[in-house]
Amino acid sequence: MWRHLASNTITFLIVGLAGAAGVIAWGVNEYSGDGPLEAAICLRVEPGTNMRSVSARLEEQGAIGSAPIFRIGAEYSEKAGQLKAGSHLIPERASMEQIVDIVTRGGASTCGTEILYKIGVNAVLAEVRELDPASSEFTELAEFDPTAEGVEIPEAYTEMRERADTRYRIAMAEGVTSWQVVQALNALDTLEGDVEEIPAEGSLAPDSYEIAPGTQVEAVLDRMEAAQAAILAEAWENRAGDLPLESPEEALILASIVEKETGVAAERPQVASVFINRLRQGMPLQTDPTVIYGITEGKGVLGRGLRRSELQAETPWNTYVINGLPPTPIANPGRAAIEAALNPATTDYVFFVADGTGGHAFAETLAEHNSNVAEWRKIEAERAAQN
């Protein structure tokens, strides 16, 4: 009889252990398997929020199947106490394990509202926008020029500045001058510590830069300079052979001219080839953007066409008057322009002119170029007649 009872007890223990193991396996599968979320959501975690309330909200929004399993998994992975405030993008079908990693990883908010400061050649804009997690597209809430005197600050901007999870970025466009960058950064109320000294022309990398309120202007400029130095060093290391460029600095000067001559990314190598061919043949570069820089010295936009007298006026940058490259870059070129200057297309082109589509018509001979110019003049006349 005792033997029978012992056998039954052992049997129950085995069944119980097997059942427990099954429950554990089910829980692990629930935690690490694909989640039920059908469309991405933006989960905002306020400072002071705990994992219990977050798990409840996730369950309510259909992102997880079980709040208790979510919390157990967070505890087991020792991440329950690492919850980070902010706005977190939870992708569709994200597992509980992935969500725990997302909400405890930290760093910049990955969704929600951001304030984007756009430094362009012709304007500086502050945009308040919100990411729709389902479409991954931004909806603009407000826009204004932060450098304008007496500008009315939108209420949405003020409200988002008060939120701890708002993301801040600076987007610097290709072809902006160093003076323009400094003027824009000094005007941003998110940054501190105005800078008076203008960095060397061409030394700032056009790119997107994450910032935090209170960041020093000088610190942002340092990041831009470091990024440009790295881009230039890499491009110089991988440059084509037999270029008429003596140093990375000369490459940067040429890249800035290429940047200002075309906004069509695909034709940058061709534009670069024209200037490389002219340098090889000892021909003047004869490029209008260098004349404009000689007038403005990068301090703003000319805002009108060039006069004949200005094309003939002698300045250090006027490539109709001087031979070879000007003494400095005329703007801050982007990576693509730098790479084009150091790896130009292989062509015999020495001329180009606008073709009416936003790009250029290239030519090897003066006769061909004159024909292209005549075509462009015709297009200009037709557009003038329509206006």
Low-confidence ranges of the chain (pLDDT < 70): 1-27, 106-110, 134, 387
Q: What is the CATH number of domain 30-110?
A: 3.30.1490.480
Bridge partners of residue 169, in order along the sequence: 116, 210
Bridge partners for 137 per DSSP: 132
Burial bucket for residue 212 (CB in 10 Å: 0-12, 13-18, 19+): exposed
Query: CA–CA separation, 285 vs 359, rounded Å?
Result: 19
pLDDT for the residue numbered 62 = 86
Dihedral through CA 265, CA 266, CA 267, CA 272, nearest 10?
70
pLDDT at 124: 95
Give domain limits for the chain.
Answer: 30-110, 112-232, 240-386
At residue 13, the pLDDT reads 45
pLDDT score of 5: 42
* CB-CB contact of 321 with 294 (8 Å): no
pLDDT at residue 279, rounded to an integer = 96
What's the length of the chain?
387
Dump the DSSP string for 278-329: HHHHT-----HHHHHHHHHTTSS---SPPPHHHHHS--TT-TTTSSS--SS-
Q: Which residues pair with 42 in a beta bridge?
A: 89
Q: Rounded to an integer, what distance in angstroms lies between the CA atom of residue 291 and that of residue 174? A: 19
Decide: helix, strand or coil at residue 99: helix
What pLDDT, on a 0 to 100 scale, did the predictor assign at position 129?
87
Residues 6+ away with beta carbon under 8 Å from 230 = none
- Please count the other Cβ atoms lying within 10 Å of the Cβ belonging to residue 68: 11
Tell me how far apart the 2 most distant CA atoms of the chain are, in Å.
119
